[in-house]
Amino acid sequence: MKGTNRGSSVSPVESNKSRRLTTDSLSIEKGVKDDSGLRTSSKSGDRKNEMRISTRRIPFLSIYRYTKPFDCFLLMAGILLSLAQGSLQAVQTIIFKRLSDTLIEGQAKWGTEDFDELKFHNGAVIAVYMYIGYGIVILILATISMTCWHTVCERQIYQIRKRYFAAVLRQNMSWFDTHPSGELITRMSDGIDRIKDGIGDKVGILFSYGAAFVGGLVVAFICSWQMTLIMMVFMPILTALTAFLTRFVSNSTREELHAYEKAGAIAEEVIVGIRTVIALNGQEKEIERYKNELNKASKFGRRKASFIALGTAWLFCLVFVAMGIAFWYGTKLYNDGFIQPGVVFATFWAAISSTLSLGMAVPQIGAIMIAQNAASSIFEVIDRIPEIDCQSSKGISIANSKGEIEFKDVHFCYPTRPEEEVLKGISFTVKAEQSVALVGSSGCGKSTLIGLLLRYYSQGRGELTIDGIPLESMNIRWLRQMIGVVSQEPVLFAATVEENLRFGNEKMTIEDMKRACQIANAHNFIEELPKGYKTRIGEGGVQLSGGQKQRIAIARALVKNPKILLLDEATTALDSRSEKIIQHALEKASAGRTTLTIAHRLSTIRNADLIIVLDQGKVIERGTHEELMLYGGVYKTLVLAQDVEKLTKENAPNFEEEADADVDMKSIGRTKDDKMTKHLYYCNQTKQALCPTAS
């Protein structure tokens, strides 16, 4: 494969008889940088909107968007039963009036001939039985209604959790760049819990108190409209105070939620990196950082609690002032002979029940508004359709893909840094079944190219194609299924070895799995684990060494049988012995596949069909290892620098003195060790090129 592809892949060398390699820097410099032409995965306006706190409170009924016919039945039943339960509180007033009339009449006739003991006894007993019956009915209604509300709530929360998690996994990388994982996890726990608190029994209680409020007013008007009107004078003030409280609670809760999301992000970050935190003795610093965010949340919480306490106190103060005035007016009406004492007590009791119901409804309204605020951020994620949609069925799927990759004048800048262009007119072709290596200093754009191939982001200007078809036209799931990736830092899950491997291919057979592990030099150590492939490896593979995790990651990529293999410093975590074995295995695995390799250790890519050297987002050199060494450019400098590093490790005591010696080519033939002297010459030249002041 390498022999056939190598010559055809280096067109600049073929056109240059003197073996001098051409660079792409001149052609890139001729291009005009057009920031307006750069297209990222999301528009700048969308990014700003995403980074702001959501201030939109969705309509309450929107929270029940996932109701099914059975849920609708439960909702209607819960509403009707809650209304009935609240309305029956007015019956208390009727019972209370009956009992009051009996007691007042009995007291007035007590000790006289007109006193009828049997009538008095029967009246009291009937009132008692009515209270008992009222209690039994309320018990039945409350039990059934709360069951309905809790059932609907649990069914809705199940759907919301499931859809929110699926929606998070659906988003593209630019979205995750502006949404820390800790905030997302906090929303999934605290945010959804607040929704659950606001759409369950709180709604039923609100309906019940609302019905009790209306029912109490109706009974009060029937008993004595004069007394009721006196109390109604305070109703606008009570309503305004209630509205102010609910609005303030809503705003404070939104700020409190956001602060807790930030605190959750810090906690999640620290727990994930707990080994590093412990190693750096950073516990106190992280506690302080977490405490600062908690203090912000606590400040909003305390302010909210203070206003609720003050507002509720004023609410009840006004209620009791109104009751006092009404009671005074009731006694005046009684003295004037307009109403009976029982009517005064009944009206007073109805008014008390009505106003207390209004006061008790305020916390329920607050919980519901909190749920609306929490739901707005949750549903914002659920409803968001990313530009790069991995769940979409749209796009082209190539039946027999060759795996030929082509970058055509590709420009790119990350959504979080739109002013900084990372790739500046990248152009090169990776032919089918060809092995191409990307080389360059850190930050030159190597990993960005792999991210674009996987469609983590969309490129700006330019075009990226596979088999001549633009990536934007391809089905995302199919594209990622045909690409195997081994990253610099292997990511394993808290599962068994087999389950981790099946992330690459759920349908693989045991034979396929073991074959891939043998190629990756992982089979032997896996068999030595306590339960072999069924061994659980802990969170992040914590029970394995770095090299073992990397080999499992390589095997996971191979079980997909991908057409394109992307190796992002795949052997970095391995020791020298394992690196050679894995490198040989990867070369075998690359047979019949298009392979794109990012390498820090340049010794691992010497056999690549094509080596592309990047610098500051541009292609500056390309060719085979031999051609680039003859050219004597940046690649050769990097190779010699690594040779210096290697030789320094092997000859640590005296190498620095020898490297600093004034070595020139005239002395090469006169030294005893010609090979060593020649190497020292290259080392000295490299040192002068990299550090001119050192000489």
Q: Is the pLDDT of residue 471 over 70?
A: yes
Name the residue with tokens 């391995």.
Answer: 574
138-156 pLDDT, tens digit per residue, is 999 999 999 999 999 999 9
List % helix, strand, coil for the chain (3-state, nearest 5).
Answer: 65, 10, 25
For residue 121, what pLDDT is reported? 79
Predicted pLDDT at 606: 85
**Residue 465 pLDDT level (bands cut at 50, 70, 90):** very high
Report CA-CA distances (Å) from 2 to 387, 578, 596.
38, 24, 14
**Assigned domain for 332 exists:** yes
Nearest to 50, CA basis, from 183, 157, 162: 183
* 43 in a structural domain: no
Contact 133, 390 (CB under 8 A): no
Give the residue, 363 or 619, on which the prediction is more confident: 619
Q: Which of 383, 398, 432 is the last residue of a domain?
A: 383
Selection from 497, 552, 540, 573 nearest residue 275 by Cα = 540
On average, the pLDDT of the chain sits at 78
In tens, the pLDDT along 165-213 reads: 999 999 888 888 888 877 788 788 888 988 998 998 899 999 999 999 8
Q: Nearest-CA neighbor of 447 among 563, 554, 605, 569?
A: 569
Tell me which of 383, 405, 423 is where a domain ends. Answer: 383
| CA distances for 43 relative to 39, 266, 559, angstroms | 8, 28, 37
C-alpha distances in Å from residue 170, one per residue of 41, 46, 201, 503, 597: 14, 17, 32, 17, 27
DSSP string covering 305-367: HHHHHHHHHHHHHHHHHHHHHHHHHHHHHHHTTSS-HHHHHHHHHHHHHHHHHHHHHHHHHHH
Identify the domain boundary among 342, 358, 383: 383
- What does the alpha-carbon distance between residue 438 and residue 672 come to, in Å, rounded to a whole number? 38
Evaluate whether residue 423 is within a structural domain.
no
Burial 364-375 (b: 16+ CB within 10 A, else e): bbbbbbbbbbbb
End-to-end CA distance of the chain, in Å?
A: 45
The pLDDT score that the predictor gives to residue 663 is: 36
Percent of the chain exceeding pLDDT 70 equals 82
pLDDT in tens, 271-281: 877 878 888 88
DSSP 277: H
pLDDT at 118 over 50: yes
Q: Is 349 within the bounds of a domain? A: yes
Predicted pLDDT at 612: 93
Is 279 within a domain?
yes
Task: Tally the domains of the chain.
Answer: 2
Backbone angles phi, psi at 481, to 5 degrees: -75, -30
- So what's the pLDDT on residue 19? 35
pLDDT above 70: residue 667: no
The larger pLDDT score, comparing residue 118 to residue 511, is at 511
Angle at 475 between CA 472 and CA 479, to 5 degrees: 95
Burial-class residue 534 by CB neighbours within 10 Å (0-12, 13-18, 19+): exposed
d(CA 668, CA 620): 32
Q: What is the CATH number of the domain that holds 335?
A: 1.20.1560.10
Inside any domain, residue 290: yes
Furthest CA-CA distance within the chain = 146
Lowest-pLDDT range of 25-39, 250-264, 488-502, 627-641: 25-39
Inside any domain, residue 475: no
Q: Please tell me what DSSP assigns to residue 496.
A: B
pLDDT grade, residue 63 (50/70/90)? very high
3-class DSSP string for 662-693 = CCCHHHCCCCCCHHHHHHHHHHHHHHHHHCHH
- Output the pTM of the full model: 0.72
Note whether residue 485 is domain-resident: no
DSSP 8-class letter at 126: H
Which of 137-141, 236-240, 499-503, 662-666 is predicted with the least confidence, judged by mean pLDDT?
A: 662-666
Per-residue pLDDT tens for 526-553?
999 999 999 999 878 888 887 788 889 8
- Read off φ and ψ for residue 32, nearest 5 degrees: -95, 125
- Tokens read off for 156: 């809705």
Q: Residue 343 belongs to what domain range? A: 52-383
Whether the predicted pLDDT of 567 surpasses 70 = yes
CA proximity to 468, closest of 513, 423, 532, 404: 404
Residues 597-641 pLDDT 10s: 998 778 788 888 999 999 989 999 999 999 999 988 888 888 888
- The size of the chain, in residues, is 695
Name the CA dihedral angle for 597, 601, 602, 604, rounded to a multiple of 10 degrees: -60
Q: Which amino acid belongs to residue 64?
A: Y
Q: Enumerate long-range contacts of 55-59, CB under 8 Å, 24 or more apart.
A: 55/254, 56/376, 56/380, 57/250, 57/369, 57/372, 57/373, 57/376, 58/372, 58/375, 58/376, 58/379, 59/372
pLDDT digits (tens, 9 = 90+) for 576-585: 776 777 777 7
Q: How many other β-carbons are positioned within 10 Å of the β-carbon of residue 672?
A: 6
